[in-house]
């Protein structure tokens, strides 16, 4: 098994799926055998991007055991967010823009983590460093990832590097970044075909905050009441998830992509402490988070400090 698999985290988002495709393509261009795969279902936003630029979703796998001897991780590094069996294969590379936690390897590796808003911004640099042209359809995927992760350049995670990369990629892909970006985000925020069970796993990541096992899930919506009006049913599912998975906290965030605010439903023994970390009250199991849109920069750091 000489082929290396390239994949992002479980419950994949647009950056995870497209960066796996893009980096596998890049590796192929420099003569290495690589295949992009995914660890979960493709969401509506990502499907919109794949369809727009003519790509099929990568092959779905659940475990890397028997699939490959070497793997490359994009858009994540924490083992609990990665493929089953990750400890049994060699991690050859990591390309990421998140914190580093719960990660160790037996062998040296190429590790590239930069404090930018999106993995695709780093990948664009790697194309340039290798003197490779970016095809229009690949540029479209990379632009889609940046738009998704930065909420069309409005997220506090967005840097000048992301904006510059996005503008350059939009020219290569021959799309209007504002028009295309809003259409893609709205496609992802259309929750009409999603059950509450779907929403819980759509973009959920497991974290260890101190001694507390936690899940932080996030969904984008045009109207957050589409979700919050079903809170009673939602809480039943959250409590079930907490009990079945031994969680201390399930922090379910609904983000308004038009007004750039969020509301979280928090369940678990440390839910009150989590709310206090934001200087807020837990009322009816809700935490109002004005101006909060980024899990990476505005939610996870606060929970890390509050629950340490």
Closest CA to 304 of 199, 216, 217: 216
- 2-187 is a CATH 3.90.1640.10 domain: yes
Closest CA to 269 of 300, 239, 299: 239
162 vs 277: CA distance, rounded Å: 29
97 known ligand binder: yes
13 known ligand binder: yes
Regions of the chain where pLDDT drops below 70? 1
Q: Where in the chain do CATH 3.90.1640.10 domains reside? A: 2-187
| Contact (CB, 8 A) for 114 and 165 | no
Q: What is the pLDDT of residue 129?
A: 97
165 vs 284: CA distance, rounded Å: 42
75 known ligand binder: yes
Q: What is the pLDDT of residue 123?
A: 98
305 vs 303: CA distance, rounded Å: 5
276 vs 255: CA distance, rounded Å: 19
| Contact (CB, 8 A) for 97 and 116 | yes
Domain 194-305: CATH class, spelled out: alpha beta
Q: What is the pLDDT of residue 191?
A: 86
Q: Cα-flanking dihedrals φ and ψ of residue 158, to 5°?
A: -70, 135
DSSP 8-state code for residue 63:
B
Q: What is the pLDDT of residue 30?
A: 95
Q: Where in the chain do CATH 3.10.310.20 domains reside? A: 194-305
For the chain, give the number of residues.
Answer: 308
225 known ligand binder: no
Q: Is 301 helix (H, G, I), strand (E, B) or coil?
A: helix
Residue 292 tokens read as: 């909060």
Q: What is the pLDDT of residue 231?
A: 95
Q: Cα-flanking dihedrals φ and ψ of residue 36, to 5°?
A: -80, 135
66 vs 60: CA distance, rounded Å: 14
Cα maximum dimension of the chain: 56
Count CA atoms closer than 13 A to 301's CA, side-chain side: 8
Residue 80 tokens read as: 């609990």
């Amino acid at each position: 098994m000489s082929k290396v698999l390239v994949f992002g985290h479980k419950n994949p988002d647009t950056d995870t799926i497209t960066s796996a495709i893009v980096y596998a393509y890049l590796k192929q261009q420099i003569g290495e055998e690589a295949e992009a795969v995914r660890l979960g279902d493709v969401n509506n936003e990502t499907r919109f991007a794949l369809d727009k630029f003519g790509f099929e979703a990568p092959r779905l796998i659940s475990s890397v055991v028997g699939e490959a001897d070497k793997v490359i991780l994009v858009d994540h590094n924490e083992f609990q967010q990665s493929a089953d069996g990750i400890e049994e294969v060699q991690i050859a590379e990591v390309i990421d823009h998140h914190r580093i936690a719960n990660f160790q390897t037996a062998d040296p590796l190429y590790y590239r983590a930069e404090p930018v808003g999106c993995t695709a911004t780093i990948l664009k640099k790697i194309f340039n460093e290798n003197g490779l042209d970016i095809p229009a359809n690949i540029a479209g995927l990379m632009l889609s990832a940046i738009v998704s992760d930065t909420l069309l350049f409005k997220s506090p995670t967005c840097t000048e590097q992301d904006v510059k990369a996005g503008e350059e990629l939009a020219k290569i892909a021959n799309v209007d970044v504002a028009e295309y970006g809003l259409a893609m985000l709205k496609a992802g925020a259309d929750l009409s075909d999603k059950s509450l069970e779907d929403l819980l796993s759509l973009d959920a990541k497991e974290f260890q905050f101190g001694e507390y096992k936690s899940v932080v899930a996030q969904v984008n919506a045009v109207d957050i009441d589409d979700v919050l009006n079903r809170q009673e049913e939602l809480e039943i599912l959250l409590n079930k998830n907490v009990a079945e998975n031994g969680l201390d906290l399930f922090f379910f965030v609904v983000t308004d992509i038009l007004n750039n605010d969020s509301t979280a439903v928090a369940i678990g023994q440390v839910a009150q402490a989590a709310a206090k970390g934001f200087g807020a009250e837990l009322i009816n199991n809700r935490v109002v988070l004005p101006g909060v849109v980024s899990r990476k920069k505005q939610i996870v750091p606060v929970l890390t400090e509050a629950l340490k």
